[in-house]
A and B are shown apart, each in its own frame.
Chain A
Amino acid sequence: MLFSSITFLYYFLPLVLLFYFIVPEKLKNSVLLFSSLIFYGWGEPKYIVWMVLSIVVHYILGILIEKHAGTKKAELWLVISIIFSIGLLGYFKYTDFFISNINKVTGLSLPMLSIALPVGISFYTFQILSYTIDVYRGHAKAQKNFVSLATYVALFPQLIAGPIVRYVDIASALEHRTHSFAKWHAGLRRFLFGLGKKVLIANSLGEISEIFKSTNQNTVLFYWMYAVAFTLQIYFDFSGYSDMAIGLGKLFGFDFQENFNYPYISRSITEFWRRWHISLGTWFRDYLYIPLGGNRVKKSRWLFNILVVWMLTGLWHGAAWNFIVWGLMFALLLINEKLWLGKAINRLPNIFSHLYVLLFVGIGFVIFDAASMGEAIKRIASMFGMGKIKLADIQSIYYLRSYGLLLIIAAVGCTPLPKRCVARIRKIPHMDHVLAVLEPILCVILLLTATAYLVDASFNPFLYFRF
């Protein structure tokens, strides 16, 4: 089920909230778990089995790891947990990728298995792993209550597209959490702003990508427009989803970690990755990069660690070479910043350091969105006028005119400028009261307008669902 669907907004969510708040405290997790399974099963009923199996296995493994803490047995149970989780993810997500590569390298023609990817498996696998690893490290206690652990893994606000919530961050909230008007207000506001970002901005920008991909005769202008639109779309799509997830979390009394912090205002790639998909970046840092030795090893090993982490970051996003290249491109840019040009980039005037980040991030997302590396190279080459294509034509100019304002709104909207403007206005005498009146009205306008778009919708999938 999508957050941005009529079914979720007007059937599922009101009913879940109703049941959640009428049942006694001790049944609230059960309501959340049951509704989360419906939420997950709504799209793909058969994959509930795999998720429930995963929860059962890790419930037992968590207890066993804690029981044998400090012994070799705990290590063994952790290894089993990792093999089981990564094995399941690997089977569903990477089997055909490896078969096709084996076929290419060896000339064999092993048949593809055409396995459908269960929605959100990459996210809940990492959440489960964070649980067992943290129990092994002694950072968290094993959860004895099955419903509580299952609620953590299946919790519908963050189940299928993050943020990747760590068990330790919500362990106490799973046992006891507070609900208040302040939290509901913040939750509603956050959810509706996220809904607006997704439905009004990201989906509309997505139309540019769709039109671009459906046209054979593209121009340099259209290639750039596509690159800019997709770069903005993926931000508004993913951060909008995260906003909705965080907002929903607040409605149910949880506080999830922030996942985005205006990544496109970064002045270096290092800074960009501190601001983009924060929960994934910190997961890889804490559960892979640091265990590999981080930067406290000799330089060659350190570089190896960076390359491994970023290759796997790319691979996590998708089972295709363009994702691996995308990850490795960032690895090389980060190594460059750490070893050679980092200080020089910091000394650059802001405009140039921003352009440097946006250029490589934009090119990165062109690679990310391509169906193959060949297509990615063709698109990047075409952006720079290679391939005998026209600079512009009536079609690309039309779409620039048609989507120009939306692109400007999106470009401004992904910076802290609107937030700063509101903060300034708030300082003007009495404006705080005016904003307090206007804000809920704006929220309702967002709800109604997003509903209008959904009622008339044709383009709606979340980009990050395929991961």
Chain B
Amino acid sequence: MQEHQKNVIPVMFIGSIWLMLALFCWTKPSDEISKSERRELEQLPELTSDMLLSGEFMKNFERYAQDQFPRRTTFRKLKAYTRFNIFAQKDNNGIYLEDGYAAKLEYPLNESSLLSAADKFRYLYEKYMKEQNLKVYLSVIPDKGYYLAAPNGYPSMDYERLFEIMKSHTEFAEYVDIADVLELEDYYYTDIHWRQEKLIKVAEKFGTAMHISKDLSLKYDVIESDAPFYGVYYGQSALPLEPEKLYYLTNDTIRDCTVYNVETNQTTPVYDMEKMKGKDPYEGYLSGAAPLLFIENPHAASRKELIVFRDSFGSSLIPLLLEGYSKVTLVDLRYIASDYLENFIIFDNQEVLFLYSTPVLNSSMVLK
């Protein structure tokens, strides 16, 4: 090979690929959202003198250039592939893959966060429940790391200590232990949540603990959702994971229940079929994140009512407990302040359940 060719060919080869990518960057129309990451993408920032002098334009442009890079998802997959297969790293963006399950590294245990959550529950108890002598329950939902992390050599929080702290600092509540009835198979492969179709045993456990067993039929039709389900870790990990099936459980009671969303002022069924086909099918359960929901059960055998303080795990479990109550109120303290509740709820003779997953308790500053 001539000396000249030795230099010309590599320069042309590298330069043309580089230039081609640059041209793609300059000409590609902006995308609105990233489906896999379930987020809105940065748009080309407005060029004004204020934005320029403050440096805001540059910061936003950097994010825009990253977000709108052509074939962004493919490049994210290439990065994940390189980390896992070339550098033999065990996680990408904090998501690891074990036994086909994608899970987030959840550690270390944040004891001050747990104490803060327990204080928040106590505050609610003393403000709204103590004088009314309401029966209060607490249950902690372990994330799948409880079953997956430590046995496979991944760092994990000290779950036993977590359960112990929550129990010992909420003596006003009866603790319902569900960790022993759950197992790894009860969780989605690509998502943080548990599978509703696997929760009948959990509903049974709550039925016994909360004395509503006689009202729970625990008989459901298992319906498969049409859309493939790519969980939240699919996008975060950027790994080529297979889609899953999402099922929902229903029966006549669940079908006839109505859900009133205080924020949107809309009444909907328990399951939102449109959302089950949307970007996050898990939002089909009770229509996803909402600060305050009232569920009315016209077929209730008793006039018992339940108030549940919950996170998103509750959305798939609560439908299975509806037969036991005439009305269930769902409060998500991530979206509504504790002191604001008295404007919407009269605490008199309901039962109360604090139902929170370990990731939320370990980052409880999100609870208002």
The number of residue pairs between A and B whose CB atoms lie closer than 8 Å in the complex comes to 135
Binds B, one of A269-277, A379-387, A432-440: A432-440
Please tell me if the beta carbons of B153 and A394 are within 8 angstroms of each other in the complex.
Answer: yes
Chain A 372-409 interface 0/1 with B at a Cβ cutoff of 8 Å (1 = within): 00000000000000000000001101110111111001
B235-254 Cβ-contact flags toward A at 8 Å (1 or 0) = 00010000000000000000
Q: CA A192 – CA B62 in complex, angstroms?
A: 20
Contact for B13 among A192, A397, A406, A444, CB less than 8 A: A444
Which stretch (A25-33, A228-236, A300-308, A453-461) binds chain B? A453-461
A46→B153 CA distance, assembly (Å): 50
How many angstroms between the C-alpha atoms of A203 and B13 in the bound complex?
A: 27
Decide if A184 is an interface residue (CB 8 Å cutoff).
yes
Residue in contact with B108 in the complex, picked from A11, A216, A440, CB distance below 8 Å: A216
- Report which of A5, A11, A436, A439 forms a contact with B26, defined as CB distance below 8 A: A11
The smallest C-beta distance from B228 to any residue of chain A, in angstroms, reads 23
* Nearest CB in chain A: distance from B136 CB, A: 33
Determine whether the beta carbon of A188 is less than 8 Å from that of B15.
yes
Q: Determine the distance from Cα of A204 to Cα of B11 in the docked complex, in whole angstroms.
A: 29
Q: Does B33 contact A (CB under 8 A)?
A: no
Q: Does the CB pair B11–A456 fall under 8 Å? A: no
B349 at the interface (CB under 8 A from A): no
Please count how many residues in chain B sit with their CB below 8 Å of the partner chain's CB atoms.
50
Cβ of B18 to closest chain A Cβ, rounded Å: 6
**Of the candidates A10, A42, A181, which one forms a contact with B21 in the assembled complex, judged by CB atoms under 8 Å apart?**
A10
Report the Cα distance A204→B82, complex, angstroms.
12
Q: Of residues 170 to 224 in A, which have CB atoms within 8 Å of B's CB atoms? A: 180-182, 184-185, 188-189, 192, 200, 204, 215-217
Quick check: B75 and A455 within 8 Å, CB to CB? Answer: yes
B55 touches A45 (CB 8 A): yes
Is the Cβ of A43 less than 8 Å from the Cβ of B79? no
CB distance from B145 to the nearest CB of A (A): 12
**Contacts A181-B4, A181-B7 given; does A401 touch B14 at CB 8 Å:** no
Within 8 A of A (CB), among B1-32: 1, 3-4, 6-11, 13-15, 17-19, 21-22, 25-26
Q: Are A440 and B9 neighbours in the complex by a CB distance under 8 Å?
A: yes
* Contact status of A43 and B17, CB under 8 A, knowing A6-B69, A402-B90: no
Task: For the complex, give the distance between the alpha carbons of A103 and B283 in Å.
Answer: 57
Asked if B204 CB lies within 8 Å of chain A CBs, one says: no
A200 to B108, CA, bound (A): 27
Contact status B66-A10, CB under 8 Å = no
B78: Cβ under 8 A from any A Cβ: yes
Alpha-carbon distance A452/B76, docked complex (angstroms): 6
Q: Bound complex: CA of A404 vs CA of B153, how far in Å? A: 15
The answer to whether A7 touches B65, judged by C-beta atoms less than 8 angstroms apart, is yes
Q: A46 contacts which chain B residues (CB < 8 A)?
A: 53
CB-CB contacts of B61-79 with A at 8 A, as 1s and 0s?
1100110010010011011
B147 proximal to A (CB < 8 A): no
* Complex contact B8–A181 (CB within 8 A): yes
Give the chain B neighbours of A405 by CB distance below 8 A: 87-89
Any chain A CB within 8 A of the CB of B301?
no
Chain A, residues 114-129, CB within 8 Å of chain B (1/0): the string is 0000000000000000
Instruction: Please name the residue on chain B nearest to A1 by beta carbon.
Output: B58
Residues of A within 8 A of B76 (CB): 452, 455-456
**Given contacts A5-B65, A449-B78, A402 and B4 within 8 Å (CB-CB):** no
Distance, CA A458 to CA B83, complexed state (A)? 14
Residue of B nearest to A403 (CB): B89
A44–chain B nearest beta-carbon distance, Å: 7
- Nearest-neighbor residue (CB-CB) of B61 within chain A: A7
* Max chain B Cβ within 10 angstroms of own Cβ: one of A215, A398, A403, A409: A398
Q: Is residue B52 within 8 Å, beta carbon to beta carbon, of the partner chain?
A: yes
Contacts of B18 in A (CB 8 A): 9, 14, 447
Residues of B within 8 A of A394 (CB): 150, 153-156
User: A14 to chain B: which residues have CB within 8 Å?
Assistant: 18-19, 22
> Smallest CB–CB gap between A389 and chain B, Å?
15
In whole Å, how far is A49's beta carbon from the nearest beta carbon of chain B?
12
Question: Nearest chain B CB to A384's CB is how many angstroms away?
Answer: 24
Known: A181-B4, A181-B11, A402-B90. A448 touches B55 (CB 8 A): no
Is B335 positioned at the interface, with any CB of A under 8 Å from its CB?
no
Q: Is B123 an interface residue (CB 8 A)?
A: no
Question: What is the CA–CA distance of A102 and B124 in the complex, to the nearest angstrom?
Answer: 51
Q: How many residues of A contact B (CB 8 A)?
A: 55
Which chain B residues border A69 with CB–CB below 8 Å? none
User: Are A455's CB and B66's CB within 8 A?
Assistant: yes
B215 interface residue (CB < 8 Å to A): no
- Whether B108 contacts A215 by the Cβ 8 Å rule is yes
A395-B107 in contact (CB<8A): yes
Q: Decide yes or no whether B93 CB sits under 8 A from chain A.
A: yes
User: B91 touches which one: A45, A402, A447, A455 (CB < 8 A)?
Assistant: A402
Chain A residues contacting B153 (CB-CB under 8 Å) are 394, 397-398, 401
State how many angstroms separate the Cβ of A251 from the closest Cβ of chain B. 10
The distance from the CB of A236 to the nearest CB of chain B, in whole angstroms, is 14
Instruction: State whether A452 touches B22 (Cβ < 8 A).
Output: no
Task: Select from chain A the residue with minimum beta-carbon distance to B13.
Answer: A440
Beta-carbon contacts of A417-442 to B below 8 Å, as 1s and 0s? 00000000000000001001001100
Q: Quick check: B66 and A454 within 8 Å, CB to CB?
A: yes
The residues of A that contact B80 with a CB separation of less than 8 Å are 456
Q: Which of B7, B11, B78 has the most CB of A within 10 A?
A: B11
Closest chain B residue to A46, Cβ basis:
B53
Q: Provide the residues of chain A in CB contact with B78, threshold 8 Å.
A: 448-449, 452
Are B155 and A217 within 8 A (Cβ)? no
> Known interface pairs A5-B62, A7-B61. Does A451 touch B1 (Cβ–Cβ under 8 Å)?
no
Whether A443 is near chain B, meaning CB under 8 Å from some CB there, is: yes
A181 to B90, CA, bound (A): 42
Q: Which residues of B have CB within 8 Å of A181?
A: 4, 7-8, 11
Interface residues of B in 144-162 (CB under 8 A from A): 150, 153-156
Rounded to whole Å, the gap between the CB of A50 and the closest CB of chain B is 15
Q: Which A residues are CB-close (under 8 A) to B156? A: 394
Q: How far is the CA of A308 from the CA of B177 in the complex (A)?
A: 67
B14 touches A436 (CB 8 A): no
Smallest distance from the beta carbon of A461 to chain B beta carbons, Å? 12
Q: List 12 interface pairs A-B (beta carbons < 8 Å), by A numbering.
A: A6-B69, A9-B18, A14-B19, A182-B3, A185-B7, A192-B14, A436-B6, A444-B17, A449-B78, A452-B78, A452-B79, A456-B238
Q: Interface on A for B, CB 8 Å cutoff? A: 1, 5-7, 9-11, 14, 42-46, 180-182, 184-185, 188-189, 192, 200, 204, 215-217, 394-395, 397-399, 401-406, 409, 433, 436, 439-440, 443-444, 447-449, 451-458
Sorted nearest first, the 8 A-B pairs with minimum C-beta distance are: A440-B10, A402-B90, A181-B7, A395-B155, A452-B78, A452-B79, A6-B65, A452-B75
Known interface pairs A1-B58, A436-B6, A436-B10; 11 further A-B residue pairs with C-beta atoms within 8 A, sorted by A's residue number: A5-B65, A182-B7, A185-B10, A216-B108, A403-B89, A440-B13, A447-B17, A449-B82, A455-B66, A456-B79, A456-B93
